[in-house]
Chain A
Amino acid sequence: MSPSYLRSVYLRLTGVLMLIVLVALAVSAYLSHQAFERALVPEMAKKVASGGATVRSLIIKAMEQRIDFGKMYGVEQSFDELKESIREVSYVALTDMQGNIVYQRFTQPRGAAEYFHSPAILAMTPRPHASPLPVRVGDQFLVSMPIAAAEKRVGMLHIGISVYFVDRMVLDMLYDVLIVLVVALFLTLELLHFMVGSKFDRAFRSLDDAFERGASGDFTSRFSDRTDAALAGAHKLIEVLRARVNSAYGALVRDVETLKRSPAHERPPGLAAAQKGLHALGPRFRFGVDDRTAQKDDSQLAKVRAPLFIFILAEEFTRPFLPAYIKELLVPVSWLSPEIVVGLPIALFMFIVAIAQPSLGRYCERVGKRRAMLLGAAIAAFGFVGSALAGSVLDLLLWRSLCAVGYALVFVAGQAHVLEHATTSNRARSFSLFIGAIMVATVCGPPIGGILADNIGRRLTLVVSAVLALASIATIWQLPEEGLADARRAAARMPSLREIGGLLLNRRFMTVTALAKFTIGSWPHTDGLCRRNGRALPDRGVDRRDARADGGVGRRGPDHVGPRRSADAVRQRRRLGIRGDADRGRRSIVVHFGPKRTGTRALRCRGRPDGRIVGVRRVSVDRAARQRDRSIDRKRTAARFRLPSQLRDHWNRCDRVRLVLFHSHTPSGELGARPSLKQFSKEQEHDQTTISTRVS
């Protein structure tokens, strides 16, 4: 049940849908070709006839000016102009009364000469206003028009249309159909994801989790496990197994306890061994009932996708027709040119979204993401209704501003929701979910909006957008109510001018921002951080180097050394024989020192639940060792450090910690004894060992 399995299911699903799309395309191409040929050829004949009428009137005018039919000048030029205005024209000819070609241009279809001489055509000549009927000659449809001035009949004008024009039209239309189908494909996938995908995903994930826990020796039972219909059987089996193991363990513990309490002479001889064995089980396996508070509810993450998608879709609907709509509502503003006024609502929208995000981030921290999203969607829905009823561009400005505020609010709150429910290891994936919803909406929205606007009008499309925004409110309602404010997150605050200045002066940031403009415009980026319009997410203080290291090495063994100064650190670590283990159960870190531990004086703990530095402490090893249990064996010394209280509060969320050990040494190169902490801080760049260890 690995994610790759899920991905393969998705890929297969996409493949099947693509196949359906392609088959649909092929069938539509065939059918529309048939229908087009039937319906379009007479239409095309009419179009060509109207173009031909212009040429005919010129010829008649020339006749009136007593220009000889055979001595007209620039006739081919007129034919060229005809082709320029109607590009389907593939042959033009002018014949005299006997059907002889006097002037011709472009490709003559096979059998044209015979056709011009045919009695039917010659008989048609004298009638001045015979309606042109297309006749297939060779690979062209020929439209023949008699030329007759009031008292003078001169000949016929024949215009040919290649039969392949239908192919070209069908091909042109196929591109449109393809776009519609691709949009439909995306929408279908999104709907599937919404209806089935997340449910399956959750079921597989929880099964996967159950297996992993079993494999790592964790037999604690979880009553809160959901039984999903799809995999309920498997879950039940595992739960029954767990219950058996737990009850057996419970019985064993009880037995041992009972026997321990019994008088010494009644104790069976193997009790000591059994007790020892029971103790040995402790570190390896876990039994009982798990409170599960530490577990992240991954399913909450996926729930935000549907409302976001629907909401962004509502906004994207307006993209294709908004400029035209603004033009429709244009009123003259004396001090602004009309072009600027047309751009104003769009620019204002972008400006508000960009400007409002930081302050709205703070707001949604205060009132909660769910409430902020609800409010944002409501404001936007109101804005859409207002936009639909707008009387002029001036009040449209107001309505679009409301939409912008709503958009920014939902966007920021959605982001915050993802951040809150993502763990360090799956943050990038979580953001891909967030970005995915936006991307799909951005791809699907404009075409659907355009089609809607074409068919039901711009104002009604805006009403549809409002309805969608209301629908997103219904889905946001499904999101969980938030609990108490999350203490691990420092309250968000507005960035100070100094911070903004620092960001502007940061060359790397500015380079990335500038390049972002050239790559995919203002698309949100996901790189562990998420940026939109160049703004970092509100979780300031993330050590990006650490985030990257963790993201990449999360599954390596313990004692992984961080990338910085790694060669030195490894050497130092080996020399000192230092090893670190973090113990989740006892909320402590055990640092194993080699024989040369003397001089290792200080320990700085830097725990990073979710990439956030929560505690920096300096502890003298000697002092710590005095206070805590230390000696594990004679050759190697270990010190168990209880975590700094600040770090301990978040221990359950912490999956890796990084320890920075500072050592001192004498000028001779030996590790010295008891230097002061002050000295450490001076020398810390030279004498530190970094241990990155996974919390077990």
Chain B
Amino acid sequence: MIKRLSRRAFLEYGAAAALSSWPTALALAQEAAASSRRVRSKPFRIYAITFRGKTDVEKGFEDYFASRKVPVQITYRDMNRDFSRMPRFIQEIRSTRPDLIYTWGTTVTLGVVGPFDAADQGEYITDIPVVFTLVASPTLAKIVSEKESAVKRKVTGVVHVAPIDAQIKAMAAYRPFDRLGVLYTPTEQNSVVVLDAIRKLGRTIGFDTVSRTFRLDANRKVTADGAADLVRELKDAKAQWLYLPPDSFLGTLAQDVIIPTAMEIGLPTFASTEQLMQAGALSGLVSRYYSVGQFTAHKAEQILVDQVPPSAIPIEPLKRFSYQIRMSAAEKLHLPPPLPMLGYAELISDALVAQ
């Protein structure tokens, strides 16, 4: 009897022990699997293409992997604003077959993955996951389709522009306005759509929008000629702010032509990207490039380590933006920031621009 009882007791204990240790065992197994993926003998190979050399984005990108102890080997290629280099990069990607491709900006991204509705997908990379960064509007650029039913591409990434209504509110918080001036490139679909959104918002909130487009030359190519005059025209049209959309061409002229002209005629400028902010704009609601880089790396980690399909990772902006104010510009324009804004805005001195 005793023997039987003890055997039963033994069995019960055994079962109990097995049951109680089950979740622990499971967790351990998962952890082991995760660590085996993480502690790889070979680092993940990332092929990164930048548009105009390395920026804070890449710094954030690298630092994220370092802090998460994910071994990566990043091969940088700089397009240096020259699109003709793209085929060489594609060639190299095909021959080296990296684990992931990192693309900086709309132009580079489109060069690698092509528009989703392109007739010939052969000249683009479709079989290697791509993580883009600093793309203002991936749907407008046709990197991905808006439609749910669209073909799932191996593409995800980070949008760096704050929602347009947040930007407009931020501008009005600095100084209220009735008329907003926008300067943009007519051939950049991205800018056209932003302008439409601003006009629509103006109708609901109650402000007018005046816009000027960069001129086109005989080949219908956008030209910098008369850009300064366009800024003056906007001032004459009684615009109280000059909004600088995430426009690539405008970005190239901002620091040398557009912002100096605006400062000269006393027109405050509002930047949509950190790049434009660095070009000397008065204020802007922007994503910090470093944070954008970290967020991009987070998405890359999900693809590389957690094996999540890129199409299942949302394409999104950061949750928080920084409100930047250039104090030198404020002083020059005699537009001191509102007192409450001093509590939360990031005040930039010109020393930062120089770097």
Contact = CB atoms under 8 A, between A and B. Distances in A.
Q: Do A and B bind each other?
A: yes
Interface of A: 54-55, 58-59, 61-62, 65-68, 71-75, 77-78, 81
Ranked nearest first, the 9 interchain pairs of A and B with the lowest CB-CB distance are A74-B338, A67-B336, A78-B339, A74-B339, A61-B342, A73-B336, A58-B339, A78-B340, A58-B342
A59 B336 CA distance: 12
Most buried by B among A55, A74, A75, A78: A74
A458 to B, nearest CB: 32
B352 to A, nearest CB: 15
B343 interface: yes
Nearest to A75: B339
8 contacts: A61-B342, A62-B342, A65-B327, A68-B336, A72-B336, A72-B339, A74-B337, A74-B339
A58 B336 contact: no
Given A62-B336, A65-B347, A74 B341 contact: yes
Interface string B319-340: 0000000010001001111111
Contacts of B339: 55, 58-59, 62, 72-75, 77-78
Contacts of A58: 339-340, 342-343
B244 to A, nearest CB: 22
Given A65-B327, A66-B331, A77 B340 contact: yes
A54 B336 contact: no
Contacts of B342: 58, 61-62, 65
B303 to A, nearest CB: 28
A212 to B, nearest CB: 75
B345 to A, nearest CB: 10
Given A65-B327, A66-B331, A54 B343 contact: yes
B176 to A, nearest CB: 11
A67 to B, nearest CB: 4
A369 to B, nearest CB: 46
A59 B342 CA distance: 9
Nearest to A81: B340
Given A58-B342, A62-B339, A73-B335, 18 more contacts: A58-B339, A58-B340, A59-B339, A61-B342, A61-B343, A62-B342, A65-B327, A65-B336, A65-B342, A67-B336, A68-B336, A71-B334, A71-B336, A72-B336, A74-B338, A74-B339, A74-B341, A77-B338
B89 to A, nearest CB: 45
Nearest to B336: A67
A74 B340 contact: yes
Contacts of A77: 338-340
Contacts of B341: 74
Nearest to A103: B339
Contacts of B335: 73
Contacts of A78: 339-340
Q: Which of A66, A67, A81 has the most CB of B within 10 A?
A: A67
Contacts of A67: 336
Interface of B: 327, 331, 334-343, 347
Nearest to B347: A65
A77 to B, nearest CB: 5
A78 B336 CA distance: 14
Contacts of A59: 339
Contacts of B340: 58, 74, 77-78, 81
A230 to B, nearest CB: 70
A109 B332 CA distance: 38
A450 to B, nearest CB: 38
Contacts of A65: 327, 336, 342, 347
A73 B343 contact: no
A65 B337 CA distance: 10
Nearest to B325: A65
A625 to B, nearest CB: 83
Contacts of A81: 340
A62 B340 CA distance: 10
A183 B341 CA distance: 50
Nearest to A57: B343
A75 B340 CA distance: 8
A431 B199 CA distance: 70
A274 B338 CA distance: 116
A54 B339 CA distance: 11
Contacts of A72: 336, 339
Nearest to A74: B338
A73 B338 CA distance: 5
A72 B337 CA distance: 8
- Give the most central of A54, A71, A73: most B CB within 10 Å: A73
Contacts of A55: 339
A68 B340 CA distance: 16
Nearest to A55: B339
Nearest to B337: A73
Nearest to A78: B339
Nearest to A80: B340
Nearest to B175: A73
B243 to A, nearest CB: 20
A55 B334 CA distance: 22
Contacts of A66: 327, 331
A312 to B, nearest CB: 44
A61 B345 CA distance: 12
A331 to B, nearest CB: 15
Nearest to A61: B342
A77 B176 CA distance: 13
Contacts of A61: 342-343
A568 B348 CA distance: 100
Nearest to A54: B343
B334 to A, nearest CB: 8
Nearest to B343: A58
B351 to A, nearest CB: 14
A62 B325 CA distance: 13
A62 B341 CA distance: 10
Contacts of B338: 73-74, 77
Nearest to A60: B342
A103 to B, nearest CB: 9
A72 B336 CA distance: 7
Contacts of A68: 336
Contacts of B336: 62, 65, 67-68, 71-73
A62 B327 CA distance: 10
Nearest to A59: B339
A77 B334 CA distance: 19
Nearest to A66: B331
A81 B327 CA distance: 23
A81 B343 CA distance: 12
Nearest to B349: A65
A65 to B, nearest CB: 5
Nearest to A65: B327
A203 to B, nearest CB: 68
A84 B342 CA distance: 18
A65 B343 CA distance: 13
B187 to A, nearest CB: 39
Most chain A C-beta atoms within 10 Å of own C-beta, residue among B335, B339, B340, B342: B339
B333 to A, nearest CB: 12
A404 B339 CA distance: 59
Contacts of A74: 337-341
B9 to A, nearest CB: 26
A122 to B, nearest CB: 24
A74 B338 CA distance: 4
A367 B342 CA distance: 77
A677 B347 CA distance: 107
Contacts of B331: 66
Nearest to B331: A66
A65 B330 CA distance: 10
Nearest to A67: B336
A74 B335 CA distance: 11
Contacts of B327: 65-66
A612 to B, nearest CB: 58
A559 B334 CA distance: 102
Contacts of B337: 73-74
Nearest to A71: B336
A84 to B, nearest CB: 11
A29 B340 CA distance: 40
